[in-house]
Chain A
Amino acid sequence: MRIRSLQFPLLASALVVVGGVALTGASRPAPAAGSVSGTVTFTGTPPKMRPIDMAKEPACAKEHATPIMVENVVTGPGNAVENVVVYVSAGGAAGAAATTPVRYDQKGCQYLPHVAVMQAGQPLTIYNDDPISHNIHPMPKANPEWNKSQPTGSPPIRTAYAKPEFIPVKCNIHPWMHGYFAVLPTSHSALTGNDGKFELTGLAPGKYTITAWHEKFGTQSQEVTVTGTKAATADFVFKALPY
């Protein structure tokens, strides 16, 4: 199929929709501990979502019935912001890295998930599910950089990052493919979904700094005190510009 439509759906409608609690990310529930939850939203006008033109790679273009949109700013109902990494940046114990690998897929010439959240030292496994070759080029600053191709049918690439940082990831063969590895100092983290909601669980009582990171909007932090098993709230509001 041909993907070259640049018609932009009207997105910035001021609808208020209250969704259920949908959690993503690596938060692990721990009974008898507190939690922090909240919503990430924006004010202003976000950029129009542009469709990705995959005409160069027909094998991928035909995977998508309608073109997927550029993923740098993904918004949801109620001005929700998707793909925001919310994590405990200070307070509490870091804890040992989980040993369960984080899975990162290349499918239909798209990174799934767009942002892979992991703790420093946690294993990361990268799969190529496409019938074509991909190239993965994460561009860290603190960690060592590598750049590898992964032909179709190759075994997954197994790796891990030792130092916390947000690493842009690109495919050198398909320039539209961009994603992030969020390598965090903590296991207390969440990634917002289409409703912008997150919940960080298993927090012992105490003072925490909660940070929200978005690839385009930047970083915001706030102090939160967790007492007992009560859920504290921390909402984040980013300022969006149309360009």
Chain B
Amino acid sequence: MRIAIASGKGGTGKTTLAVNLAVFNNLNLYDLDVEEPNDYLFFKPAKLDTIEVFRKVPVVNEKCNGCGICKDVCEFKAIAVIDKAMIFPEICHSCGACIYFCPEKALDEENKLIGKIIKAYNEITLTYGILEIGEASAVPLIKEVKKEIKNGIIDCPPGTSCPMVESVRDVDFVVLVAEPTPFSLHDLKIAINVVESLKLRYAVVLNKHGLPFDGVEKYCKEKGIDIIGKIPFSKEIAEKYANGMLLGEYKDLFKEIYGVIGD
């Protein structure tokens, strides 16, 4: 089973849930938050494997006569033509149109490093992507990390736009992590919209349970959405998270949450 951990709002506890769920149920863990991967901070792996990930960007060769067709077919404004074509690789989406349409065969393709996939062998196997700084789109790297996914826990990027959608697409179950604040409730509603439009099965885990706001619980009850676990608000948990430690004393809670998803 592929279980995605997502949230909408950042900082609600995706990483906490993903890491502990994977470790205490002995599952593979995948970190698709390639812009800011943090799951690896909780492990001290004995062995690492690294795979570099590239995307193709065009480069101009000496055959260019400055006709400008490449610029006309580029929807991303990644090409300017003065005497010859000039490419802005950071804006390029690697669609390949300019190369296909160039009548002079004046564009070649070159590999641009966009990030790495790292496999860390711990008590469980963690596979994560890490995006190169300055690279605008996380999606091509996320797609490559996804090819490694068998069964297990998938920690997703925050938000509800393309990186999150790419991460939850095709999974068997989505856990949305919320915290009891009006901000989190607002973003949870957007995230629910996304998973419902993708026709995915989902449930909510409430983190920092015990904070005064009860809007998330009320909303879930009203809409018939299952809350399948509550992680208490506690200084000890915050302290352990801060230091990159697992929550061994809540082992049973993470087993229980996984049990509910499995049913």
Tell me, yes or no, whether A binds B: no
